[in-house]
Amino acid sequence: MGKERKTIGVLTSGGDAPGMNAAVRAVVRMGINRGFSVVGIRRGYSGLLANDMDDMDLRSVSDILQRGGTVLYSSRCPEFSEQRNIKKAVENCRKAGIDALVTIGGDGTFRGALDLCREGLPCIGLPGTIDNDISSSEYTIGFDTAVNTVVQMVDRVRDTSQSHDRCSVIEVMGRHAGHIALYAGIACGALAVLVPEIEFTIERDVVAKMVSSLRQGKQNFIVMVAEGVGHAPAIAEQIESLTGIDTNAVVLGYVQRGGSPTARELVIASQMGHHAVELIEQGIGKRVVVFRGGKVVDLDIEEALAMHKGIDMDLYRVANDISI
Ligand code: ADP
């Protein structure tokens, strides 16, 4: 016997990111608008296994749009790679009356969603991570805010750098992906951007450029480093010993994850949440909602996970060509 009203579950998983709340809000509001009940699951897949969930209504998502982090909390749940736990999660959803699930997170979260789909629970993944390292999407929820935060922080560093030191090495997040470093590097007018995707040497890509810029009268330098290429203090020491120029290091760390989402973030996250419910309404599952070619579209989860995204080489050329 079918229920009168179908139910959508929503969760956030993996690293939290500003804008996740806007996506949750859009799922709840659009879900209710289209006649669904919506259940919020706390702490990602851990909450699904622990039955940590509650009904959400229009008011449960009031006043969350501008808040960073995720009101549903997030977690990493290593047990989710075990098949028996996938089955348990699907069983818990059945018991809670959840007919379809929206999971907001990174590629790991999408893999979990794919496993759930294979066990018969339709899932829609939304890309949420500050690193922009989801292979299928040109843009991920959290990235724009993180880049803007880095730019604001570097502006402050630059004020003091201009008064005392002459070079600042800024370490930003990105263990395997240099998207934050590249975008923020261009936006901050960095002399050099060092990312894990592209080979470099400090001598050629930093020191030689610095010496040539010094000759042309430049006095202050920002070097933007993704954490995956090494630690800023060690790189700063190397630059100082090779050039004799006072060089400091700033490791931005977790401040990059927090803060109110930018307008761009809020708009795209809202579009993505809206799109997810439209898919569920049409009875479509096993999809991820992604940003491609400037539009919010959807792809099969497996197809999405098989994609590869490298660093934007056109943008890297821009960074290099104008930092002289
Ligand atoms: P992200 O979603 O940001 O990539 P993780 O890689 O930590 O972050 O993945 C988030 C969660 O997704 C994991 O803690 C785990 O619960 C689930 N997950 C990751 N990989 C798999 C997998 N291969 N199969 C099932 N679940 C997975």
Can you give the pTM of this predicted structure? 0.96
CA torsion, ordered 290, 291, 297, 302, to nearest 10 deg? -30
Instruction: With a cut of 90, say whether residue 137 has pLDDT above it.
Output: yes
| Region of poorest pLDDT, from 81-90, 151-160, 220-229, 255-264 | 151-160
17: helix, strand or coil? coil
Q: Considering all CA atoms of the chain, what is the largest pairwise distance in Å, rounded to the nearest integer?
A: 79
Chain segment 217-229, per-residue pLDDT in tens = 888 899 999 999 9
Q: What is the average per-residue pLDDT within 14-38? A: 97
Residue nearest to atom 6 of ligand 1 (CA): 108
| Residue 179 near residue 143, CB atoms below 8 Å | yes
Q: What is the average per-residue pLDDT within 203-218? A: 93
Indicate the pLDDT class of residue 1, thresholds 50, 70 and 90. very low
291: helix, strand or coil? strand
Phi, psi dihedrals of residue 226, rounded to the nearest 5°: -80, 140
pLDDT at 162 (0 to 100): 72
Q: What is the average per-residue pLDDT within 138-147? A: 97
Task: Put the strands of the sheet holding 287-292 in their side by side order.
Answer: 53-56, 37-41, 7-12, 100-105, 123-127, 287-292, 295-300
Atom of ligand 1 nearest to the CA of 76: 14
Would residue 131 show up in a list of annotated catalytic residues for this protein? yes
Considering the candidates 16, 99, 131, 205, report the single residue annotated as catalytic.
131
Q: Is the CB of 106 under 6 A from ligand 1?
A: yes
Residue nearest to atom 15 of ligand 1 (CA): 77
User: Does an H or E element contain 144, and which?
Assistant: helix 143-163
Chain segment 87-99, per-residue pLDDT in tens = 999 999 999 999 9
Q: Is the CB of 127 under 6 A from ligand 1?
A: no
Residue nearest to atom 25 of ligand 1 (CA): 112
116: helix, strand or coil? helix
Residue nearest to atom 27 of ligand 1 (CA): 112
Q: Is the CB of 80 under 6 A from ligand 1?
A: yes
Q: Is the CB of 142 under 6 A from ligand 1?
A: no
| Residue 30 near residue 126, CB atoms below 8 Å | no
Q: Is the CB of 162 under 6 A from ligand 1?
A: no
CA distance linking residue 72 with residue 261, whole number of Å: 16
CA distance linking residue 266 with residue 287, whole number of Å: 21
Q: Is the CB of 77 under 6 A from ligand 1?
A: yes
| Residue 176 near residue 229, CB atoms below 8 Å | no
Ligand 1 mean position to 36 CA, how many Å? 27
pLDDT at 2 (0 to 100): 57
Q: What is the average per-residue pLDDT within 75-96? A: 97
Atom of ligand 1 nearest to the CA of 110: 2
Q: Is the CB of 125 under 6 A from ligand 1?
A: no
CA distance linking residue 97 with residue 8, whole number of Å: 9
Q: What is the average per-residue pLDDT within 111-133? A: 97
Instruction: With a cut of 90, say whether residue 178 has pLDDT above it.
Output: yes
CA distance linking residue 290 with residue 281, whole number of Å: 18
Indicate the pLDDT class of residue 60, thresholds 50, 70 and 90. very high
Residue nearest to atom 20 of ligand 1 (CA): 108
CA distance linking residue 126 with residue 272, whole number of Å: 7
